Amino acid sequence: MIELLDLMKDFDEVKAVNNVSLNVLDGEVFGLVGTNGAGKSTILRIISGVIKPDSGIVLIDKRPVYDNPEVKSDIFYISDDQYFLPASTPDEMANYYEGIYKNFDKLRFHKLCSGFGLDTKRRISTFSKGMKKQVSILLGLCAGTKYLLCDETFDGLDPVVRQGVKSLFAGDMADRGLTPIIASHNLRELEDICDHIGLLHQGGVILSEDIEDMKLKMQKVQCVFQNEEEEKAAVEGLEVLLHERRGRLSTYTIRGEREEVEAAFKRGNPVFFEVLALSLEEIFISETEVVGYDIRKFVLG
Amino acid sequence: MTSANLSLGEKIKNRRTYINRTLWTSFVVLPFYAAYFILGVIMLVSRSINYANVYHQTQQVLYREKLAATASVVGFRSMVWILVIGTAVMFALQGFSYVFNTSQIDFYLSQPTTRAQRIKRNYFNAFGTFLSIYIGTELIALIVAAAMGAVNGNVLMSALIETVREFILFFAFYNMTVLAVMLSGSLPIAIILTAAFTFVSVIIAGEIALFKGIFFSTYDSEEPFKVIFSPIYDRVSSMMDIYTLRNVGENYILNPGYVRQCIETIMDREIDTVVVGVIAFIAVLIFSRLRRTEWAGKSIPLRPFRWFIKVLGSAIIGIGSGLFVFELYSSVWNSRLYVMMCVVMILATIFAGCVIEVIMEGNIRRMFKGVAQTVMAIAIVVLVFVIYKGDLLGFDSYVPAASKVESCAIISSDRTFHFFHGYYGNSDFSSKDYMEIKDVDTFIEIARVGMDAQKITRINEQAGRYSSTGYQVSVLYRLKNGRDVYRYITIPYDAVDEQLNKIVSSDEYKTGCFEVFHDDYVREADKTAVNRSLGYNTSLDSQETQNFDYTEFSDAYRKDILAYYSFDSMKNKMPVGQIEYEVNDENYIYGTFEVYDTYTNTIDLLKKYGIYLDSTITVSDVRKITVTNYYPGYDLEKIDYQDIEEYPDSKEMSYTDEKQIEEILGSIISTDYYNPWYNYNNNNEQYSAQIYTTEDRSKYAGSYYTFIKGQVPDFVVADTN
């Protein structure tokens, strides 16, 4: 488990990380979302032991990470602009990491490279951006570490590869308890991968929730009532987060269990009502607008 | 299979791959070392063999030359230090430049290691690689040299010590460069900082020495140029000293004391290099802990160091500009120009501050930022100017207390001998190495008077008035605390003659001043010299012989100096002639010895060799005397020549009348030869006399003489004005 408590990091006058507290549970895919400069990379670099925070606590399985090789051997960090040794090939990088991470599985690496169509004898510098990302992901997966930190790693991957990587993540999570932490500036990229999302803005955490919990606790209802009194009566006592009206058709985003919401609407005698599935995007819009943010401006693009 | 199951061989192989990928500079430097050591030895030794064949050298000479060839590649005279410095800087930049790049920092520091381990590993890789390359190529070169018969104990010992020296040099430069990297945020700034660390102490020492020369009347250029904390200076000056080691001769490589002598010569500078390396290493340890990952990309992120660099850099440039102004105006310098010098120094400091700010910021619009640092730099520059101009440290009035002085010396660099053999010369001979005057009280009495007189002389010189007011000499006080103090003084004529006589008449002065007392290497070289001569010159004639015994001559000359040389006897007397000694074969030696009429042992020996010439002139020897008055219409015994507004044309008059010639001969003196204790103020430089002798008396067309003050005959004055 990764625990961040009251983490602070300033770069001169800029507050890169501002009082961040997060918990990453073992075996879940944690997504860090935020705009450029929101502090995602800084948090990942702090977790990986590259940067020392100005204040606050970072614990990996109850152990401090900074300058602690034992803890760092459980972490593999894939940076936004992953570095490879000069003029190296995937094979040579695998050799290199083989000497660094005791659980590095070179055989698996070669198999996966073959599966992804990557030539292990070719210089990485000649690879495309997406291919380099694939090499770094495969190296990270084959390192056999408990935690895999991915900074904007899914940018530049085509859908087929993305799906393949997702399957690998799922397999490793099931097989050996891998805990991936994925940072991205785009919420839509994480929707189908993450179990838990931490939303960052200007160095601080706006929101940190399990996606399933959020989905269960929030309902979207489209309805038509005979008159406004009946509609008011139906939503009375519910925690309405958003309400839109187009003609007589109303759309409500309401915090609450499905059964509770359905019961309330049935009591209002609606002409028509239907509980719809909420996308991650909608959940975030609703949650963040409540606390005064418009995340459409800075996450959804 | 995971890495936990890797064999040792596979681990080593992976490690080698890593070093190859990260220390690729080793591939660049390896051919250079191989070329330097292996090719160098092969080429130089084979050149010696070919030379010996062509010029029919003996086996003994060939052996010596082959050893010298190997030693010049691997020994104390090696030039490999240039490669070593380059390697150290390259390895350090290569090993630590990851701190300038965020993705490389992420790559390396996210791995299961500590910063300390990473630094340790980089050091281990760099030193291991360097030593492997250096020792590997050097060993091959020595094996090749041994196969060519060009190795002996001295060569091996000097190669071993040189290897240690190169390791020390590598250690110092590697640490200096790593320190520069740790204190900077980008490669260009790290390179600039490395250069600054390399040269800053040399520049500061140079500026201090030049400022002393400009501002202090008694500053002596004999004062050794001392630089501390500069491995580059240590190495270059050591190399020059080794090349000019005295008393080692051409057989140095066969000389059993050669290695010891070299070590003694360079030890202080090697220690200085080690100290720099250790300080830099400690600083690396400190700053590597202070260094933040986010410094990557910035110029000099550590604020106090940034201030320090800007203040120091601006001040150095500001002070340097003062030196530039002085150099520009040195030929027309006067005290008013000090104001301009100060103004230029302030302006240059401001300009330097702006430029340094632009470099550190990488933004020309930041030119006028950091005003506080510039103000501090200006304050330092002005303070330095005021300290030197006002002599606030009392340089020109410092005379050490007698109780603190171990011994003294009057420094004379007037060499008797000029000795050359290949690179070696004796140009560094100085009496300070041999003269130890223990009569400190008398010496200080003279020096005190001389300090005051020198200050007046300097003031007069800056006012454009040059005149001989005394004996201008350099003096050295060796303090009991080990410090040497040098001063340039003017001992006024006739002011402290009694004290001067005590000093100059002492054996300590004579044996220290005259190189003939330290001519063992000449005596040695003379034994095997073939093309050699001893000549005797006077103002009228010269003779030479090849049949002489140098040792016999040297002994006689030494005896005369000890018996007859004194201030009182030399004050009013000029040498009657000069002996020239010359060897012109494998060694070149040229020596001159002034002869006074009191040097009876020397004169007797010259007579024995058949080359003595009487320098006295009688009326019967002279056909004609031509007197030249350079300033007709003036009397320079009453006015200074510098007060003449318009220089007149000189006027000549020739005399053939015996009575007139006799009177002139009684009032002139030959100044062909130099006597440091002669009171040249006694001479009247307005007139000169050219004597034309009869053909059997002299082979020269005419010899020049000078009139003694107050003795210019009236008819000469009347005829030439």
Contact of B708 with B668, CB cutoff 8 Å: yes
Question: Rounded to whole angstroms, how far apart are CA atoms B216 and B227?
Answer: 20
Domain contains B349: yes
Predicted confidence band of residue A301 (pLDDT cuts 50, 70, 90): very low
Interface mutation vs chain B, best among A13, A42, A67, most B CBs within 10 Å = A67
**CB contacts < 8 Å between A and B, how many?**
101
Asked whether residue A107 carries a pLDDT value surpassing 70, the answer given is yes
Domain contains B585: yes
Minimal C-alpha gap between B373 and chain A (Å)? 20
pLDDT of residue A269: 81
Contact of B511 with B521, CB cutoff 8 Å: no
- Mean pLDDT check: name the lowest of A66-75, A272-281, B211-220, B509-518: A272-281
Cross-chain residue pair A107–B21, CB shorter than 8 Å:
no
Residue B695, C-beta contacts closer than 8 angstroms, at least 6 positions apart:
none
pLDDT digits (tens, 9 = 90+) for B393-441: 999 999 999 999 999 999 976 777 888 776 566 666 678 889 999 999 9
Domain that holds residue B384: 323-396
B541 and B589 fall within a common domain? yes
Domain contains B509: yes
Query: Of B24, B114, B294, which is closest to A51 when you measure between CB atoms?
Result: B294
Paired strand residues for B583: B532, B589
Task: List CB contacts (< 8 A) between A100 and chain B.
Answer: 3, 111-112
A240 touches chain B (CB under 8 A): no
φ/ψ region of B422 (left if φ > 0, alpha if ψ in -120 to 50, else beta) reads left
Query: Of B1, B114, B293, which is closest to A50 when you measure between CB atoms?
Result: B293
| Strand runs labelled E in chain A | 2-11, 14-24, 30-33, 55-60, 63-64, 75-78, 147-151, 179-184, 196-201, 204-210, 218-224, 239-246, 249-255, 272-276
pLDDT average, residue stretch A178-188 = 87
Asked whether residue A300 carries a pLDDT value surpassing 60, the answer given is no
Paired strand residues for B669: B706
Minimal C-alpha gap between A139 and chain B (Å)? 12
pLDDT digits (tens, 9 = 90+) for A130-153: 999 999 999 999 999 999 999 988
pLDDT digits (tens, 9 = 90+) for B522-565: 998 899 889 999 999 998 889 999 999 999 999 999 999 999 99
Asked whether residue B183 carries a pLDDT value surpassing 80, the answer given is yes
A125 touches chain B (CB under 8 A): no
B385 and B461 fall within a common domain? no
pLDDT of residue B6: 61
Minimal C-alpha gap between B73 and chain A (Å)? 35
Contact of B657 with B625, CB cutoff 8 Å: no
B453 and B329 fall within a common domain? no
B215 and B94 fall within a common domain? yes
pLDDT of residue B21: 61
B327 and B476 fall within a common domain? no
Instruction: Give me the residue label for tokens 């040497």.
Output: B484
A45 touches chain B (CB under 8 A): yes
pLDDT of residue B1: 43
- Mean pLDDT check: name the lowest of B44-48, B201-205, B422-426, B453-457: B422-426
For chain B, the domain total comes to 5
Question: Rounded to whole angstroms, how far apart are CA atoms A71 and A64?
Answer: 8
pLDDT digits (tens, 9 = 90+) for B655-673: 999 999 999 999 999 988 9
Q: What is the DSSP string of B41-69?
A: HHHHHHHHHHHHHHTT--HHHHHHHHHHH
Neighbours of B582 (CB within 10 A): 17
pLDDT of residue A292: 65
Cross-chain residue pair A68–B114, CB shorter than 8 Å:
yes
> B499 versus B242: which is more confidently predicted?
B499
Asked whether residue B344 carries a pLDDT value surpassing 70, the answer given is yes
Asked whether residue A212 carries a pLDDT value surpassing 60, the answer given is yes
pLDDT of residue B553: 97
The residue out of B608, B637, B655 marking a domain boundary is B608
Query: Of A83, A103, A106, which is closest to B106 when you measure between CB atoms?
Result: A83
Asked whether residue B171 carries a pLDDT value surpassing 60, the answer given is yes
Cross-chain residue pair B3–A96, CB shorter than 8 Å:
no
Residue A204, C-beta contacts closer than 8 angstroms, at least 6 positions apart:
A18, A19, A20, A39
Question: Rounded to whole angstroms, how far apart are CA atoms A178 and A146?
Answer: 5
Q: What is the DSSP string of B252-277?
A: GGG-TTHHHHHHHHHHHHHHHHHHHH
Contact of B548 with B612, CB cutoff 8 Å: no
pLDDT of residue B608: 96
Predicted confidence band of residue B481 (pLDDT cuts 50, 70, 90): very high
Question: Rounded to whole angstroms, how far apart are CA atoms A2 and A23?
Answer: 6
pLDDT average, residue stretch A225-232 = 85
pLDDT average, residue stretch B127-140 = 95
Question: Rounded to whole angstroms, how far apart are CA atoms B646 and A145?
Answer: 97
pLDDT digits (tens, 9 = 90+) for A3-57: 999 999 998 888 899 999 999 999 999 999 887 788 999 999 999 999 999 999 9
Query: Of A11, A48, A88, which is closest to B110 when you measure between CB atoms?
Result: A48
Of B655, B601, B635, B642, the closest CA to residue B717 belongs to B635
Which helix H or strand E contains B303, and what residues bound it? Answer: helix B303-329
What percent of chain B has a predicted confidence (pLDDT) above 70? 94
B500 and B536 fall within a common domain? no
Of B587, B584, B600, B586, the closest CA to residue B535 belongs to B584
Query: Of A81, A83, A102, which is closest to B4 when you measure between CB atoms?
Result: A102
Question: Rounded to whole angstroms, how far apart are CA atoms A132 and B318?
Answer: 52
pLDDT of residue B285: 95
Predicted confidence band of residue B2 (pLDDT cuts 50, 70, 90): very low
Phi/psi at A197 (nearest 5 deg)?
A: -120, 135
Cross-chain residue pair A52–B292, CB shorter than 8 Å:
yes
B600 and B712 fall within a common domain? no
Question: Rounded to whole angstroms, how far apart are CA atoms B97 and B190?
Answer: 9
Question: Rounded to whole angstroms, how far apart are CA atoms B169 and B154?
Answer: 22
Predicted confidence band of residue B17 (pLDDT cuts 50, 70, 90): low
- Mean pLDDT check: name the lowest of A211-220, B184-193, B439-448: A211-220
B585 and B672 fall within a common domain? no
- Gyration radius (Cα) of chain A, Å: 22
Question: Rounded to whole angstroms, how far apart are CA atoms B216 and B394?
Answer: 10
> B202 versus B24: which is more confidently predicted?
B202
Query: Of A49, A70, A80, which is closest to B109 when you measure between CB atoms?
Result: A49
Of B562, B561, B605, the closest CA to residue B581 belongs to B605
Interface mutation vs chain A, best among B20, B101, B294, B295, most A CBs within 10 Å = B294
Cross-chain residue pair B14–A99, CB shorter than 8 Å:
yes
- Mean pLDDT check: name the lowest of B249-258, B281-290, B322-331: B249-258
Contact of A297 with A272, CB cutoff 8 Å: no
State both tokens at B9: 């061989």
* pLDDT, averaged across chain B: 91
- Mean pLDDT check: name the lowest of B31-45, B222-236, B627-641: B627-641
pLDDT average, residue stretch B375-401 = 96
B509 and B416 fall within a common domain? yes
pLDDT of residue B424: 60
- Which domains, ranges and CATH numbers included, belong to chain A? 2-202 (3.40.50.300), 213-300 (3.30.70)
Domain contains B7: no
User: What's the gap between Cα B580 and its chain centre?
Assistant: 27
Residue type at position A216:
L
Nearest Cα residue in chain B from A42: B294
State both tokens at B198: 């390399």
Domain contains B3: no
Predicted confidence band of residue A268 (pLDDT cuts 50, 70, 90): confident
B268 and B404 fall within a common domain? no
Question: Rounded to whole angstroms, how far apart are CA atoms A258 and A276?
Answer: 10
pLDDT of residue B23: 63
Asked whether residue B101 carries a pLDDT value surpassing 90, the answer given is yes
Residue B574, C-beta contacts closer than 8 angstroms, at least 6 positions apart:
B669, B670, B671, B673, B675, B678
pLDDT average, residue stretch B592-619 = 94
pLDDT of residue B43: 97
Helices B187-215 and B231-243: angle between axes, nearest 10 degrees:
60
Domain contains B1: no
Domain contains B5: no
pLDDT average, residue stretch A65-72 = 94
Hey, CA dihedral for B406, B410, B416, B422, is it positive or negative? Answer: positive
Domain contains B550: yes
B278 and B355 fall within a common domain? no
Asked whether residue B387 carries a pLDDT value surpassing 80, the answer given is yes
φ/ψ region of A12 (left if φ > 0, alpha if ψ in -120 to 50, else beta) reads left
* pLDDT, averaged across chain A: 88
Distances (CA, A) of A260 to A225, A227, A233: 19, 22, 14
Asked whether residue B182 carries a pLDDT value surpassing 90, the answer given is yes
B422 and B483 fall within a common domain? yes
pLDDT of residue B466: 78
ipTM: 0.87
